[in-house]
Structure formats: C-alpha cells, structure tokens
Amino acid sequence: MKKIEAIIRPHLLENVKDALQALGVQGMTISEVRGFGRQKGHTEMYRGSEYKVEFVPKIKLELVLDDDVTEGAIEAIAKAARTGKFGDGKIFVFSVEDAIRIRTGEHGEQAV
Amino acid sequence: MNSLSKKTHLMSRVLIPLSLMLFSVLTWAQDAAAPTLEERLAKAESAAAAAQTAGDNAWMLVCSALVLLMTGPGLALFYGGLVRKKNVLATMMQSFIMMAVITVIWAIFGYSLAFGKIDNQLDSWNLIVGGFDFLFLNGVGTAPSAYAGTIPHLTFMVFQLMFAIITPALITGAFAERMKFSAMLVFCTLWAVIVYFPLAHMVWGDGGLLNAFLGGKIPALDFAGGTVVHISSGFSALVCALFLGKRIGYPKTPFAPHNLVLSVIGACLLWVGWFGFNAGSAVAAGGLASNAFVTTHFGAAAAALGWLVVEWLRIGKPTVLGGISGAVAGLVGITPAAGFVTPMSALAIGFIAGVVCFVAVTEVKKRLGYDDSLDAFGVHGVGGFTGAILTGVFANSAVNTVFKDANGNALPSGLLEGNPSQVLNQFLGALIAIVLTMIVTYLLLKIIDITIGVRVSGEDELSGLDISQHGEEGYNLDADLGVLGTVSGSASMSALPEMVEAKS
C-alpha cells in the first residue's frame, strides 16, 4: 500500500479528481493549505500599505492505494495538475504499514 | 270679493306658517353653525400646522433611525471588517456600546448640556455649554421647541442623540485592536461629556459661540456636524493613536483587513444613513432637505472617484477599500456644506475631499509613522477640516440665506460669492474644536492611563481583544467539529476530528 500526498493548484482539483476517478479510484481526502516553493507570492494593498503574501493557497490531496495502481495514479495526477509554470505543486509517495476500515474492522488492502 | 277672501285665506293658511318656518330656520342656523371669519381662519391655520408637523415629524423620525443605522450596522461593519479576525467582535462592540451608553447619559443630562440655555446672569458660560433646564428631559415633550418649530421637541432630542452616539464611535477606529474595553468605556463617556456636549452647544445650541443662526460671535457654518462630529472625533483619534502607540508588530507585520466584504456593506450603509444625517439636519421636510440630500449623494460619488483615480495612478490598482474609503471621505467633507452649497459645488468638494484624504491616509501616515489603525484621523479629521474650509469657499446664499443686512436682504455666504471672511470664520471654528478636543483627549487618556490603564497587556493584544476582553470569538465556524472543547462541568469528552482515510 502506498499513500500519495499531492499539493496542487486549487483550480485544478476538479481535473485531478476526474482523472483519478477514471482510473477507478474510489476515495480521497482534500484540505485547503497554504505554502510556498519556487512560485513567488503576490502583493496585496490596503490603503496604500503593501503586504507581500508569501504563503499561496493550495489544495493538499491525500489517498492510499494498492501498490499496483499507484504508478498510474501518480501519472494521472501529474498530467492533470500540470500547467508548466512555477507553482504546479508536488507529489509525495509513502509506504503504508496498515489500514483499517472502521465499520468492518478489515485490515490491509481490503480496507483501502 | 270672493276671490279676495280666497287670497287672504291662502295667505293665512300657507304663507304665514311658511314664513315662520323660514324665520326659525334662519335663526337656528345663526345660533348653531355660523363660525366667524376669525374662527374659520384659526381652524385652517391649525389644520395647516398639523399637516406640516405630520410631514416634518415623519421625515425627522425616519432620519433619526437612519443616523442610528450609521453606527449600528454601518460603522460596526465598516470598522469590524478592517481589523484582524481576532478583534472583530471587540471592534464592533466599541460602536455598539455607544448606542447604549450615550443614550442613557443623553437622557439624564447630555441633551441639557448640549441644547439647554443658562439664565441671563451666566450668559458667558452659555457661549460654551448649555444649562440644566432639560435635565432628565424636563420639559422635553410633544410640543415643539425653539430649535425646530414644526416637530415635537422629543423628535429633535432623539435626532440629536444619534449624532452624539456616532461621534465617539468614530474615534474607536484610531485605537482599534489594542485598547482595554473598560478604558474605552470611561474615555468615550467622559469625552462625550467634556468635548461633544459643549461643542454641539457652541455650534448648534441657543447662544453658542459659533452658532451662525442664533447669534454666535464667530459665525462658522456647520450644516450637519463637520466640526462637531468629524473634526472633533478625527483630531481626538490622532491624539489616541499617538498616546496609545503602535500595535505590536506595526508596521512590519501585515495587518490586512480580515473581511473587506463586511467593510463594503458597512460603508454602503453609512452612505445611506448619511442621508438622514445631512438631509435631516434641515430639521424639516422641505427644499433645504432636498438640497442636502442631493449634495450628500454627489459628494460621496465624486469622492469615491477622486480617491480611486489617484490610487490607480499612483499605486497601480483601484482597490475596493479605496473606493469605499473615498466615499466615506466625501460624505465627511460634504457634511458641513450640505445645506449651504449647490449640487455642482458638492461634486467639487467631494472630489477634493477624496484626493486629500487619500494623501493623508497613504502618504502622511506613512511618513509620520503613527498607527491610526482604521484611519479615523485620516478620513474624519482631515476630511472634516477640508470640508469646513471648503464650506467657507462654496457656501451660497441662494441655497441658504445665512447672513442678512439690516433690511433683511441676503448677504453673500462664501468666498466665491464674495465673502472671504467666511473662510477665516470656518478656520477659527475648526481651530477651536481642534484645540479643545486635542487637549481634553490627552488629559482624559492620561488620567485613565494612571488609574486603570488604557492599553491591554501584550499577551491580551496578541491573543486578540475578542477573547481577552469579551471571552468570545467572532467566527466559531468549526464549532460542530467539537473544537470548542467541552461544556464546563460536564463529563463528556469532545470528539476530536479525525482525518478520514477513504478507500481507494
């Protein structure tokens, strides 16, 4: 089992979700996050005072998959989330020791 | 013969009773329902007066509600949106609490100090402050007063009260995010008593020093409170900002407004409420109210454009906050002038006020380095002063005849009409207000600082005034996730939000 954590542009979430669903992915968790990398932030102005906003809004997407579908999912995310400019985000992959479905108590790959 | 006797018979049988009847009808009519001309005139006069009272009173009650609308939702939302999330409730409370506190002191003695009259032997005092004749609203009833002959005295009193409420609320913008609630309460209450009530008396009260209509020695024109409300609160705000010092982190840490949507709603409510403030200051539902209504609207519109144009040119983008700040600056600027200038002059006054306040807020503040959190000085102080001077420039006797010669003919009002001395009077009126308000504000703050302290502790400031001063938060949007913890005294554990892993 692998956990995929992807930081993507908020407006591309819909693309990414559709691409993953097309692969048969049945669930995922997202959260609104802020962060910075090579993409520069932006400036905001309030009554002439300039504020540099360095932490840019992003979406963090998390999903746990069977090993054999992980590579396909990574490719799908990368393709759907790419614009070619700074700020497209990153994908991290982790090994997962176990997973438990709370409703039934199933363990391992049956639970994901 | 026969015919003659027949005729006599007819007369006696018909005509005599008929004439008797006619006679009795005539006498009855004369006795019961024949009003004299004087009676009919008096009746018509009282009917006309009642009709005018009905019209004027309806308008003035609506205006009173409109002016309260400026503080209640208007200013509270405008200021509330400009602060950080952790101070939103405390900031709104600083406006809201004025609706309660000032009302009570106004009822007990405030109205009397502002609009009462002192006995003759104390005449010189009466230049500065009113007397005690209206204590506990004694004698303030449904009969009209000397101030407004066509509306109940109660209506005039409550209309003026709404001005007394918003004025200290305006100052709160200067010390937002760092003043103790207790200190704020004491300060605003004493400020109303020592600054506002005397100032209102000087400009509008019977016998007041600056009253242009009721025999003031320095006749300064202030239609709806440019001096009394905006210069006084604005310059007091400057003293507050200097006295309290900067907020922790200013100006290095960003203090971005947490919700400009609230501020836009608030500013637009201020704009609408201002019709009551300015047009209501005609104290009647006549042509002067229409003039003030139109000039108010034009002033706001031109100022919004003025601010935005300069901002766009100098900073590169026209901001929404700039647009609404400009509108408020224009409303401030047109306030003293609304009932003295033409609609075209209002466009000019508004535009100038918008540009001047933009410079005050963006350039002057940055250069001088004081932390006027929400620009109470930059908008109300500077805009109010600009408006006061421009009123002396643009005032026109065709709109409102202020000065008359011995024969009752109109004399010119403002500089452009040929009365340059009015600009000096306007300046002197503003100066008196500025000196009074700055000295008293400083003394009050000093006394309060020595006794209870004006500023919250650094820890309280960092955690926010909502929690430290009021024990509440403005936005508990995650309350259903249990983030508020448990009800104190209950044994139940709050459910912690768990991240749910979905099945792939």
ipTM value: 0.75
A45/B315 touch (CB, cutoff 8 Å), yes or no? yes
Number of H helices, E strands in chain A: 2, 6
Tokens at residue B423, please?
């600009």
B501/A112 touch (CB, cutoff 8 Å), yes or no? yes
Dump pLDDT digits (tens) for A74-92: 999 999 999 999 999 999 9
pLDDT of residue B279: 96
Half-sphere exposure (Cβ direction) of B221: Cα atoms closer than 13 Å: 32
Closest residue in chain B to residue A4, using alpha carbons only = B504
The set of residues, in sequence order, having a beta carbon less than 8 Å from that of B218 and lying 6+ positions away, is B209, B210, B425, B428, B429, B432
Please say whether the beta carbons of A90 and A81 come within 8 A.
no
B257 chain-A contacts, CB cut-off 8 A: 46
B500/A28 touch (CB, cutoff 8 Å), yes or no? no
DSSP type of residue B175: S
pLDDT of residue B7: 57
Please tell us whether the domain made up of B69-465 is placed in CATH 1.10.3430.10: yes
Q: How close A29 gets to chain B, by Cα (Å)?
A: 7
Give the SS3 label for residue A93.
strand
Q: How far apart are CA B453 and CA B287, in angstroms?
A: 50
- Beta strands A42-46 and A29-35 are unpaired
pLDDT of residue B266: 97
B358 chain-A contacts, CB cut-off 8 A: 48
Q: How far apart are CA A11 and CA A13, in angstroms?
A: 6
Q: How far apart are CA B470 and CA B272, in angstroms?
A: 30
A48/B321 touch (CB, cutoff 8 Å), yes or no? no
Q: How far apart are CA B343 and CA B279, in angstroms?
A: 13
Reading chain B (504 residues) residue by residue, the pLDDT tens digits are: 455 555 556 556 666 666 666 666 655 555 567 889 999 999 999 999 999 999 999 999 999 999 999 999 999 999 999 999 999 999 999 999 999 999 999 999 999 999 987 655 456 777 788 888 899 999 999 999 988 889 999 999 999 999 999 999 999 999 999 999 999 999 999 999 999 999 999 888 887 887 767 666 778 899 999 999 999 999 999 999 999 999 998 888 878 999 999 999 999 999 999 999 999 999 999 999 999 999 999 999 999 999 999 999 998 999 999 999 999 999 999 999 999 999 999 999 999 999 999 999 998 888 888 999 999 999 999 999 999 999 999 999 989 888 888 888 888 888 998 888 899 999 999 999 999 999 999 999 999 999 999 999 999 999 999 999 999 999 988 777 666 666 765 544 444 444 444 444
DSSP type of residue B475: -
DSSP type of residue B292: H
- Beta strands A90-95 and A29-35 are unpaired
Q: What is the mean pLDDT of residues A21-29?
A: 92
Class of domain A2-111: alpha beta
Half-sphere exposure (Cβ direction) of B366: Cα atoms closer than 13 Å: 11
Lowest mean pLDDT among A2-6, A33-37, B43-47, B115-119: B115-119
- The amino acid at B371: D
Q: So where are chain A's domains?
A: 2-111
B325 chain-A contacts, CB cut-off 8 A: 47
Give the SS3 label for residue B413.
coil
Cα diameter, chain B: 136
Q: What residues in chain B have their Cβ under 8 A from chain A's Cβ atoms?
A: 251, 254-257, 311, 315, 317, 319, 321-322, 325, 358, 361-363, 366, 375, 499-504
> Per this entry, what is the length of chain A?
112
End-to-end Cα distance, chain B:
136
**Nearest-by-Cβ selection for B375 from A27, A29, A47:** A47
Please say whether the beta carbons of A47 and B254 come within 8 A.
no
The structure's pTM equals: 0.85
- The H-assigned helical ranges of B121-180 are 153-171
**Nearest-by-Cβ selection for A51 from B254, B317, B361:** B254
**Nearest-by-Cβ selection for A27 from B317, B321, B503:** B503
